[in-house]
Amino acid sequence: MDTLPHRLLLLTLVSACAGQEDPLGTELAVTPEINFLPSDKIVEGDSLEVRCRVRQPQPPRLKVFVMKGSTVLKSRSKKAFWNTSLAQAADGGNYTCKAEANGRQKSVKRAVHVAELFSTPVLTVQPIDVFEGEMLTFSCKSAHMDSQRINATDVKYHLYKENIKVVDLPSGEYRMTADVQHDGNYSCQAEAKSIQKQSLVIVLKTKELFSTPVLTVQPKDVFEEELLTFSCKSAHMDSQRINATDVKYHLYKDNVKVVHLPSGEYRMYADLRFNGNYSCQAKAKSIQKRSLVFVLKIKVFTINKVTLMILPATEVQRDTDVELKCDCDANASETATLTYQYSFYKYQQLIHTENHSFSHLSHHLHAVRVPTSGLYSCEVKILNATVRSEAEFLRVTGVETPSLKVSRGEISEGEELSVECTAPKEEGPFTFNLYHNSTLFNTNSSKENSLSTKLKFEQSGVYEVHCSYELLLFQATSEKSNREVVAVRELFSKPVLTVQPRNVFEGEMLTFSCKSAHIDYQRINATDVKYHLYKENIKVVDLPSGEYRMTADVQHDGNYSCQVEAKSIQKRSLAFALKTKVLVSKPLIEAWGNVVLGRPFSIVCRSVRGSLPITYTLLFKGETVSSFIVHSPQDRAVFNVTSITVNSREEIRDFKCLAQNLGDKSKRPSLALNTTVIEPVSDPQLTALPSTGNVVEGKELILFCPVKDGSPPITFKWYHNGKIINSSTTEERKHSYTLSKIEHKQGGRYYCQVQNTDMESRRSGEITVTVKDAPWKIAMIAFIIVLLLSIVTVSLIHYIHKKDDPSHSGSQSAFSWAYCPCGPTPLYTPACLKSCLQSWDVLVRDFQDIKGVKSQHLLWVSSHCTFTLLHCIINYCFVGDSTSPPEVPHLHLTPYLSLFPSPLQARERRKKPSSICKLNIDLFLICSKKYHPIALFRAASSPASGVHAASIQTNKT
């Protein structure tokens, strides 16, 4: 509570405590003083001190304030001092010294004058309205300056932008090219003797030729392979100074120029390689402006799988609400927002589409019906990627039971009955089925859910009529409708068709008769009833009297029926199959398989025409052999002829057959049997040329294989040592096989085998073929042996010559035949050959022990025995074991050998080298068809020379 008495009481208490009693509202009883040092008139840059104090008496709790205006510069108790070492013009003015104590105060004022060294600078900008690219001039000047204290050069100027020094101004001016980047709040500062004065602020606003370009990217959220558009535009452009075509745009990525943008736009397909910091630059009249940076981060997504679910199940009852739920499993970048385009399909037809930001979407099918059944799928499209789910089949079961209505419950045959079958809640297309007595008798298709039609009953009776329907596209069939009873009265009965006679042959008269047993003459007249005869459901003829007669013929065979018609009512009789019997035709007779002389065979008889059964009889020379009855088309009249043997081709024509199917008057005989008769082959006889089967190697051998009997063609097969070497088929009864230039390996056993179409083969006897060596091979063997023996002989003589002793020369005549056991007259036996071989062993063993035997003697003996040995070999090989020389003419050949002289010849050679004993060899050859060639050698020397003559003669073997 704040009242006047309370205030007075409070002041009294305070005064009492202070020891004073001052009345309320009186001035403080002190005298404050204020003084300026050095004086109250100073110049900027001088020091200034303001002193405030209160002289005695000083009340308690006294506080002194130095103030300028309402701002307290300094406060203390009893006295206060405020000073500055660098006075400025702003420091001039009125100062107050205030004393305050116990809620009372007293103050005194006094002014001080501070003279300026220089005036506050003024900042000017020229031109005032400046455009980008123009030259701009800043000017900073102080209008007044105390020339007695400072010089003009003492004053320094500085240019500030947003209170930040930009540049020093030595001359007080600064020039630069205008640019919006330089826009801002500018001021200048003048400084001299530590005195700083700031000018007023000038706001610099450069007018743009064109605004800073703005880079836009569409779409902002871009995915791989999506079309990306960069757009760079300046929103403002001074059309009076530049044209739109003067501004050139460039696209930069990470501060590297990418492409020039003539139209200000650039399109490309997004790719992860293009991620980075993009900006664009606009340039005109040397002015370049760069847009803000756009960070392009291409997003990535993948559609893994799209799944369609049918809820509550894939098979539901009609009137069920079904949900088609499409779920998309997709991966995307963390910051990417995907837009899913969902499309639902039934088969390939689009039924619903919707865009959504969620990874799943449902489409609802309300109160489904059977036509709702089908193959459903969903498709999700994200940008250019599209994935479709696997199709799911929705089966809706249960269709509405139809309702049936009829116009009347009783009608007559031929009258129409109106019926209506409806299924009001179903959708078509429909196939409506109408039944009487559970038998389908009418089917109609309709796109509507009801069917109205008229029915006509052609037969009398009581009928229960009902209906059903099918939804064929969905394989759904309804239950049968309610049943309506309809009574139909008969006009006439169903006709009966009769044929007389029932079994008729060609040429006989045939009668058709058609009649209805009952006719309602109260409703129709007899003349109203019309009869018609039908064959294979095609009308043949009208039957005015109900009968029709014709001559039987197989051309008329078929299924006949008759029809009765009256007042549009038609009734058809049961069908009658007319089969006219045909007389048997002339039979054909032929052999069944091959006919071989002397063996059983089979005969077939058949007729091209004739009604069954047919009796076939086989005749041989007019006599009955056997009979056979054919009852079905699959049967054959086959006669196995086993009791009769055919021994000649002519007897085969004695066979005939008879055919009949209507007693003796239908008998038909065949022609005589005419077929090929096979004659079996006889045993072949194998011969050879030469006939002995012995042939010399390199010569030709011909084998002959003839047969006496057998039907051609005949196959001849040749065998060598049990293996087939040739096969040939010929029309002749003989065949030969030639072995040209026969070889040793072709020797052996040969035989031939023959066979014809009888398929029974016959084999010949064997011939053994012996192949002997060719004469030139034997001569070559002999020559090689002689050559080897000669080499051995020369080697021995050479060795003995080295050991020859002259003192033993007188014993040569005694030694001449010592080592040739055959003697001067050779023997032509194997014993001679054996003795010559043994003499060689003695010669080799004893020649070192012989003294006085000259080498010439040994050479002569060796050579003589060598040729004797050769003669023995040839004679033995070609002649055999003959013990006496054969007597044959001989042919004298040119003497050619004088290498081995006798001792006398050696002495003559030393006397007369040209008179040398010659060794003549005569070759005798005898060649004929029946004898082998024989080689004959003869060695002889002149009697005057004393050389031994050896002659070899041969005779015919």
pLDDT at 865: 55
Whether residue 9 is predicted with pLDDT greater than 80 in this model: the reply is no
Segment 481-494 shows an average pLDDT of 87
Q: Which residues pair with 748 in a beta bridge?
A: 769
Task: Give 67-87 pLDDT, tens digit per residue.
Answer: 998 899 898 888 888 998 888
Give how far the C-alpha of residue 195 lies from the chain's centroid of Cα atoms, to the nearest Å.
Answer: 95
Query: How sure is the predictor about 834, in pLDDT bands with cuts at 50, 70 and 90?
Result: low
pLDDT at 163: 93
| Amino acid letter, residue 331 | N
pLDDT at 867: 55
Element (H, E) at 860: helix 855-878
Segment 378-407 shows an average pLDDT of 89
Q: Which CATH number fits domain 31-112: 1.20.210.10, 3.20.20.70, 2.60.40.10, 2.130.10.10?
A: 2.60.40.10
Query: How sure is the predictor about 914, in pLDDT bands with cuts at 50, 70 and 90?
Result: very low
DSSP string, 439-496: EEEEEEEESSSEEEEEEE--S-EEEEEEEEEEEGGGTEEPPP---EEEEEE-SBPPPE
| Contact yes or no for 81/65 (Cβ under 8 A) | no
Lowest mean pLDDT among 56-60, 614-618, 847-851, 855-859: 847-851
Query: How sure is the predictor about 851, in pLDDT bands with cuts at 50, 70 and 90?
Result: very low
Most confident of 278-287, 334-343, 910-919: 278-287
- The residue among 246, 378, 258 whose CA lies nearest residue 306 is 378
**Rounded to whole angstroms, what are the CA distances from 503 to 509, 510, 580, 582?**
11, 10, 7, 11
Architecture in CATH of 687-775: Sandwich (2.60)
Give percent above pLDDT 90 in the chain: 25
Whether residue 759 is predicted with pLDDT greater than 80 in this model: the reply is no
Average pLDDT, the chain: 79
Segment 486-498 shows an average pLDDT of 88
Domain residue extents for the chain: 31-112, 121-204, 213-299, 301-397, 403-489, 495-578, 587-678, 687-775
pLDDT at 250: 95
Residue 491: other Cβ atoms inside 10 A: 26
Residue that is written with structure tokens 């064959």 in the block: 535
Segment 323-348 shows an average pLDDT of 87
Architecture in CATH of 213-299: Sandwich (2.60)
Distance in angstroms (rounded) separating the CA atoms of residues 734 and 899: 62
Domain 495-578 in CATH 2.60.40.10: yes
Protein fold of 301-397: Immunoglobulin-like (2.60.40)
Whether residue 188 is predicted with pLDDT greater than 90 in this model: the reply is yes
Class in CATH terms, 403-489: mainly beta
- The residue among 117, 93, 149, 112 whose CA lies nearest residue 44 is 117
Query: How sure is the predictor about 846, in pLDDT bands with cuts at 50, 70 and 90?
Result: low
pLDDT at 802: 66
- The residue among 154, 153, 160 whose CA lies nearest residue 199 is 160
Query: How sure is the predictor about 692, in pLDDT bands with cuts at 50, 70 and 90?
Result: low
pLDDT at 489: 85
Architecture in CATH of 587-678: Sandwich (2.60)
Lowest mean pLDDT among 46-50, 219-223, 803-807: 803-807
| Contact yes or no for 284/247 (Cβ under 8 A) | yes
Distance in angstroms (rounded) separating the CA atoms of residues 714 and 710: 8
Task: Give 880-904 pLDDT, tens digit per residue.
Answer: 443 434 333 333 333 333 434 444 4
pLDDT at 694: 80
Structure tokens at 268: 């490309």
Residue 56: other Cβ atoms inside 10 A: 6
More confident residue, 343 or 764: 343
Whether residue 503 is predicted with pLDDT greater than 50 in this model: the reply is yes
Distance in angstroms (rounded) separating the CA atoms of residues 483 and 424: 18
Whether residue 864 is predicted with pLDDT greater than 80 in this model: the reply is no
| Contact yes or no for 503/510 (Cβ under 8 A) | no
Whether residue 918 is predicted with pLDDT greater than 60 in this model: the reply is no
Q: In 179-206, which positions are buried (b, 16+ CB within 10 angstroms) versus exposed (e)?
A: bbebeeebbbbbbbeebebbbebbebeb
Whether residue 820 is predicted with pLDDT greater than 60 in this model: the reply is no
- The residue among 91, 75, 76 whose CA lies nearest residue 36 is 91
DSSP string, 640-665: EE-S----SGGGGGGEEEEEESSSGG
Segment 279-308 shows an average pLDDT of 89
Beta strand segments in 31-151, E: 32-37, 41-43, 48-54, 63-68, 71-76, 79-84, 93-101, 104-115, 122-126, 135-141
pLDDT at 838: 59
Segment 842-855 shows an average pLDDT of 48
Q: Which residues pair with 467 in a beta bridge?
A: 434
Segment 494-519 shows an average pLDDT of 88
Distance in angstroms (rounded) separating the CA atoms of residues 928 and 391: 104
Q: Which CATH superfamily is domain 121-204 in?
A: Immunoglobulins (2.60.40.10)
